[in-house]
Structure 1
C-alpha cells in the first residue's frame, strides 16, 4: 500500500471516528441527560449546542470524513478490486448516506426549526409543542446516524487491518 493511500485511509478513519464518537457521546450521555430537563431548558440547551457545534474543529471531522472517504475510495479503486477496497467502499456509502446525509437532510433542518423558535414570550404549551415536535424526530434520526457512523468506523478498522 502506498504512503498516499495509507494516509488517506488513516484520515478517513480518524475523521469518521471523531464523528462517530461525537454521535455516540450524544446518544449515551447528552441526550439521556437532556431528556430530564424541563421543556424550556431542553430547548435552550439544544439551541446553545447547535450554535456552539459549528466550529472549525467540528467541521474538520464532519466535512473531512466524507471528503477523505471519497478520496480513499478513489485511491483504492485503482487496480484490481481488493477486499480492502470493498470494506472502504461499504464504509463510505454507509457513512455518506446514513451519517452525513441523515445529518444534512434530517437533523440540521430540525435544528434550524428549533433555532427559529423563540422562548421569549412563548407559553408553556407552545414550548411543550415545540419540544415534542423536535425531540422525538431528532433523536430517531440521531440514532440512525449514530449506528451508521459507528458501523462505518468498524468497516474502516477492518480495512485498516486487511492486507492489500
Structure 2
C-alpha cells in the first residue's frame, strides 16, 4: 500500500522534474537557436511561446510543483525523525523561491512587457531595442530558475532513495 506521504513526494518529484526539464531544454536548445534569429523573428517567436505555454498541462506542473512540494514537506515533517524531511524541505525552499518565485517576479513581467510590444508598427531599431531590453534580463532570470529547478530535483531524488 502506498502511503500518502510517499504519493506526495512522488508528485512533487514528478512535477519538479517536468519543470526542470522544460527549463533545461529551453536553455540548451531553444535559447541557443534563438541567438541566430534576427530581432523581429526572435521577438515574434518569444511572443508565440509565451502565448502557447499557458495551457492546462503546463499549469499543472507549474502550479503543482510548489503545491506538492509544500504538501510533501508537511507530510514528512509530521514523521518524527524522518531522514527525508530535510531533503524535501531544502528542495521546497530552493524551488519555491528560486524557480517559481523568480518566474513570477522576473520572467512573467518581462513576458508581459514583450506581449505589449507590437511588431507590426515597429521599426528594425525599435525591435532591436526591445530585444536588448528583454533578452538579457529574461535569460538571466531563466538561468537562475533553471538551476533552482535542477538542484531541488536532485534533492528530491535523494529523498526518494533514502530509507524511512
Residues 7-47 of structure 1: CA distance to partner in whole angstroms, max 9, x if unpaired?
00000000000000000000000011011100000000000
Aligned pairs for 1:1-164 (under 5 A) are 3-164=3-164
Alignment root-mean-square deviation, CA: 1.1
| TM-score normalised to structure 1 length | 0.98
- Cα deviation, residue 2, structure 1: 5.9
Q: Distance in 2 between matches of 1:113 and 1:91?
A: 31
Q: Distance in 2 between matches of 1:74 and 1:129?
A: 46
Equivalent pairs, count: 164
Residues 101-142 of structure 1: CA distance to partner in whole angstroms, max 9, x if unpaired?
000010000000000000011011100000000000000000
| TM-score normalised to structure 2 length | 0.98
The answer for unaligned runs of 5 or more in structure 1 is none
The answer for unaligned runs of 5 or more in structure 2 is none
- Cα deviation, residue 80, structure 1: 1.8
Q: Distance in 1 between matches of 2:81 and 2:109?
A: 38
- Cα deviation, residue 92, structure 1: 0.3
Q: Distance in 1 between matches of 2:36 and 2:4?
A: 47
- The SS at the match of 2:84 is helix
Q: Distance in 2 between matches of 1:132 and 1:29?
A: 20
Q: Distance in 2 between matches of 1:153 and 1:65?
A: 11
